[in-house]
A and B are shown apart, each in its own frame.
Chain A
């Protein structure tokens, strides 16, 4: 039976704070505020929010996606109304412990349907695609640096190159394991001297050497194993001189055809990655926030080939020791024909920028309004408070 819910209310879990999270004592005096960690996970290709967190108690769901219902039989629930995709085992467990929450019917300000514009907007934090050249995550690094007497936190892309969200004026490193044999020490030294004469290469090289020193002997050859990638990200963050802010990308979400299997495969990767990351962070998990987002959602109905096409609103996940979890934050728009955006997509009711700005501001102890203005310039939306403990 659908639970009677006020469609314009925030859906809260039965326990605002999960009992498990009360049972696990937090570190009473956390390390300095600067020791907080943020892992930003970008799902490229538009992950289907309605598959990630299925509104199974909305009668409209069965009407739109009857074929998908069996996928959620026995799946864990979030605030009674939603079913968590069964591939998200670790994330569901974290939710149950009060260390993860979902945001649903959320979208950036982008209302068209191009992946590339959508990702550009989500990564730059601009109001128009290609309007800004640097990324909001890089500006966050700068903002924290300003507060901490000009010392920006270490930032890292878990990738060979730096994704747009992390590009900008603040220094950022990148690292990903490779199968290439290390160059000889002498050759590396000579390259370093050759690059001293070139500002750009000198900066790239210095950053790379810092991170390589930290990542010694990871034993990996690539990022293909999601679990190992999660553990690697943790190993580069959990020590005192590790990165405080990192970003990792996952692809495979553009499920235009035969979505059920493709989504489950991608979701297993995501789950393995953040699950392994959480375990490997150890006690540093208590000071950690993981944000999982995607550029936009997908069509509410399946298309003619068992898939979904580019849509509008989707879901996001906040996870970590600082998260006030076991909840779904959603101003649920409903799934009736009239409620769908453009008659085809889940309607956006929560600004993703508010989720990002609000959660990172509270996590790092920044002024919320300042965070919004600097990370997402020109937005009128108010940052959402209470995603993480201040």
Chain B
């Protein structure tokens, strides 16, 4: 691959055909750095979007009541919560304020809209390197719309907790992402209660069966997946202590506790009487502060821990420089992280300046999301219909905010380069090629992979029986699959 092709494809989302006429930067490296200055955390599609994420708790309680009714009536509940017309007719929805009722019924549509916003923002972007970073960090702090009540929250998590910090400080992104309603719901934190909290003592005295307790899911995944990494030196006791520190952090709108909730920046709430009192000891350090600040102090320390620097550096290097990231690059990024106190912009600059990220041979297999965005940019399909976007990503196997686990989608070739997965790309490519003007496909191919198009691909494109067929072949050529 030439340096121009690497800048376009390895660091970005490939050539945007509509702006191909615009002068390409003479020097690919400074072209990438210039994107950092141009990046818009709230581009028109994002800033113009109606935010419906306000009623997390109300929606969740509705879903639960509905599920109980369905299960009570002997019907097997589906795994997910697509509301049906039947539930809309009456029952728990009957006496609801119209805006809540609408949010509940619209959850699936809102999610589709948000997925299309994510895709089309990347397709139209003139800062694709930074979009790639947004999606990298969003996957690092993965949340899933598969969890009841999160459908209005997951896009907001990326747009409000990731995008503004993508060139900022890791500590700020960590706090925003972990304590966002989407994450609090996804990893069960919203219902975790301190065993010795006033809430729990009260419930025990009343003996009304409403006792709740600790849930350590979020605490464990923050340590394992967001900060220190699984070998980061924490023990089960650190998980439990951190879970205690996190108690009280919840979502807004939960009926029984909402009147005690103190709103927090980012849309979460803190309920002091569910918080476990006392000093916590985590990773050898004591945290005496109380209230919401206790967990924030823990997160601040985790964000500057050397194990976190190592873990984040490894993942970033793997994303841009290969499944087996070069040790020299990992060390350089790690050092940068420690020296700058986790400055994400500095990490991005160091990455661009590192020779390990500019090796000639392709180092990564494009994930389905990367491939689709690159295809849409190259074909000029910049406003694909919401249903088609969601449908395509579902068939390709990588719907945003729907990773199968809190670890996010895999960033390894083996997870994506499957026989059947390849056929799906081919089927989709033919369909897309049939729906756009093909124009001069050879010129487009040379521009998309400047100095990097193989003779094999060139040959088969030139032998195609039509421009449409040639364009389809280009979309599935090895050059489109690897970066």
Chain A: CB-nearest residue to B413 = A200
With A112-B230, A187-B472 as known contacts, state yes or no: A167 contacts B422, CB within 8 Å.
no
Q: A70 within 8 Å of B by Cβ?
A: no
Q: Are B460 and A162 closer than 8 Å at their CB atoms?
A: no
Q: A263 within 8 Å of B by Cβ?
A: no
Q: Are A305 and B212 closer than 8 Å at their CB atoms?
A: yes
Chain B nearest CB, measured from A121 CB (Å): 12
Chain A nearest CB, measured from B394 CB (Å): 8
Q: B417 within 8 Å of A by Cβ?
A: yes
With A174-B419, A198-B456, A261-B67 as known contacts, state yes or no: A160 contacts B214, CB within 8 Å.
no
Q: Are A183 and B426 closer than 8 Å at their CB atoms?
A: yes
Chain B nearest CB, measured from A180 CB (Å): 4
Chain B nearest CB, measured from A93 CB (Å): 18
**Could you say which of A33-41, A77-85, A204-212, A317-325 contacts chain B?**
A204-212
* Residues 299 to 315 of chain A near chain B (Cβ within 8 Å): 303-305, 307, 309-310
Q: Are B426 and A310 closer than 8 Å at their CB atoms?
A: no
With A116-B230, A190-B464, A208-B422 as known contacts, state yes or no: A179 contacts B213, CB within 8 Å.
no
CB < 8 Å A-B pair total: 163
Chain B residues within 8 Å of A188, by CB? 426
Q: A228 within 8 Å of B by Cβ?
A: no
Among B212, B426, B472, point to the contact of A304 (Cβ < 8 A): B212
* A188 to B394 alpha-carbon distance, docked (Å): 22
Contact code string B196-236 (vs A, CB < 8 Å = 1, else 0): 00000000000000011111110010001000001000001
Q: Are A44 and B404 closer than 8 Å at their CB atoms?
A: yes
* Residues 413 to 458 of chain B near chain A (Cβ within 8 Å): 414-424, 426-431, 454, 456-457
* A30 to B251 alpha-carbon distance, docked (Å): 60
Chain A residues within 8 Å of B215, by CB? 256-257, 303-305, 307, 309
Q: B71 within 8 Å of A by Cβ?
A: yes
Q: A161 within 8 Å of B by Cβ?
A: yes
Chain A residues within 8 Å of B478, by CB? 195, 198, 200-201
Among B217, B397, B464, point to the contact of A309 (Cβ < 8 A): B217
Q: A5 within 8 Å of B by Cβ?
A: no
Chain A residues within 8 Å of B117, by CB? none
Chain B nearest CB, measured from A357 CB (Å): 23
Chain B residues within 8 Å of A309, by CB? 215-217, 220
Chain B residues within 8 Å of A252, by CB? 79
* A194 to B430 alpha-carbon distance, docked (Å): 14
Chain B: CB-nearest residue to A176 = B420
Contact code string B312-343 (vs A, CB < 8 Å = 1, else 0): 00000000000000000000000000000000
Q: B2 within 8 Å of A by Cβ?
A: no
Chain B residues within 8 Å of A160, by CB? 397, 418, 420-421, 424
* A201 to B391 alpha-carbon distance, docked (Å): 25
Contact code string A105-118 (vs B, CB < 8 Å = 1, else 0): 00000001111110
Q: Are B188 and A305 closer than 8 Å at their CB atoms?
A: yes
Q: Are B418 and A162 closer than 8 Å at their CB atoms?
A: yes
Chain A: CB-nearest residue to B464 = A190
Chain A residues within 8 Å of B195, by CB? 304
Chain B nearest CB, measured from A268 CB (Å): 6
Chain A: CB-nearest residue to B474 = A194
Chain B nearest CB, measured from A45 CB (Å): 7
With A212-B423, A305-B188, A307-B215 as known contacts, state yes or no: A179 contacts B395, CB within 8 Å.
yes
* A136 to B141 alpha-carbon distance, docked (Å): 30
Among A180, A207, A307, point to the contact of B427 (Cβ < 8 A): A180
* Residues 44 to 85 of chain B near chain A (Cβ within 8 Å): 67, 71, 76-77, 79
Chain A nearest CB, measured from B186 CB (Å): 10
Q: Are A208 and B419 closer than 8 Å at their CB atoms?
A: yes
Q: Are A304 and B214 closer than 8 Å at their CB atoms?
A: yes
Q: Taking beta carbons and an 8 Å cutoff, which residues of A are in contact with B?
A: 44-45, 112-117, 129, 157, 159-162, 164, 167, 173-176, 178-184, 186-188, 190-191, 193-195, 197-198, 200-201, 204-205, 207-208, 211-212, 222, 251-252, 254, 256-257, 261, 265, 268-269, 303-305, 307, 309-310, 342
Q: Taking beta carbons and an 8 Å cutoff, which residues of B are in contact with A?
A: 67, 71, 76-77, 79, 187-188, 191-193, 195, 211-217, 220, 224, 230, 236, 391, 394-395, 397, 404-405, 407, 414-424, 426-431, 454, 456-457, 460, 464-465, 469, 472-473, 476-478, 481
Known: A175-B420, A188-B426, A304-B212. 16 other contacts (CB 8 A): A44-B404, A44-B405, A116-B224, A160-B397, A162-B414, A180-B395, A180-B427, A190-B473, A191-B426, A194-B460, A197-B457, A204-B418, A208-B422, A211-B420, A304-B214, A309-B217
5 A-B residue pairs with CB within 8 Å: A113-B220, A114-B230, A178-B420, A204-B422, A307-B188
Q: 9 closest A-B pairs (Cβ-Cβ)?
A: A304-B213, A161-B418, A197-B456, A208-B419, A160-B421, A207-B419, A180-B427, A194-B460, A174-B418
